Amino acid sequence: MTVEVVTSCHDLAGRLAAVRAGGGTNHRHNLSHWVMLKDNHLTGTDIVGAVESSRSRWPGRTVHVECETLDQVHQSLEAGADALLLDNMTPAQVRACVDEVRAHAARHGVRPLVEASGGITRAVVAEYAATGVDCISSGVLTNAASALDVGLDLLKAEIPCC
């Protein structure tokens, strides 16, 4: 199991280094090699259509679908999504989704990566880890981290005169 800290575009290198320094790992460093389908990206289409369109436009990229319900997990599995982001679910809901993913894999021989995200803190991370997900994303380590102010001031060197 890996624990990923969600990072943003701002100070990405610094946040990735902080995750590594804290003992975590990242399963993605940015979304340039992945297609992330969130609920607000599905305007005018459904999950199946969005996955098909993504594969057509960006062949070879991992298609990651954000799911907030078990029904969305079913649709994502039928669409052949490569990864599922189970967002803002309770551990019990995540466990039910993982069970469905396993059952689907037993029937079809293909299993997507399953990630839990949304509101996961250090206090509850063990509960989410026990659900059987492949990875857990938590922004708790970096969301409130302050930037390190490093100055590279150049001082005038005293140059001896001839």
Per-residue pLDDT of the chain (162 residues; tens, 9 = 90+): 333 333 334 445 555 555 566 566 665 555 566 778 876 555 667 899 889 988 998 888 899 999 999 999 999 999 999 999 999 999 999 999 999 999 999 999 999 999 999 989 889 999 999 999 999 988 776 666 666 677 666 666 677 766
CATH label of the domain that carries residue 27 = 3.20.20.70
Contact predicate 31/139, CB 8 Å: no
In angstroms, the CA 97 to CA 89 distance is: 10
**Does 154 map to a domain?**
no
**Does 146 map to a domain?**
no
**Does 101 map to a domain?**
yes
Residue span of the structural domain in which 34 resides: 2-137
**Does 93 map to a domain?**
yes
Q: Which two tokens stand for residue 104?
A: 């689907």
**Does 72 map to a domain?**
yes
pTM higher than the cut 0.85: no
Counting every residue written for the chain, the total comes to: 162
**Does 162 map to a domain?**
no
**Does 60 map to a domain?**
yes
Domains held by the chain: number: 1
Q: Which residues contact 34 (CB under 8 A, 6 or more apart)?
A: 28, 61, 62, 63, 64, 83
**Does 68 map to a domain?**
yes
Contact predicate 42/68, CB 8 Å: no
In angstroms, the CA 95 to CA 72 distance is: 15
In angstroms, the CA 94 to CA 128 distance is: 8
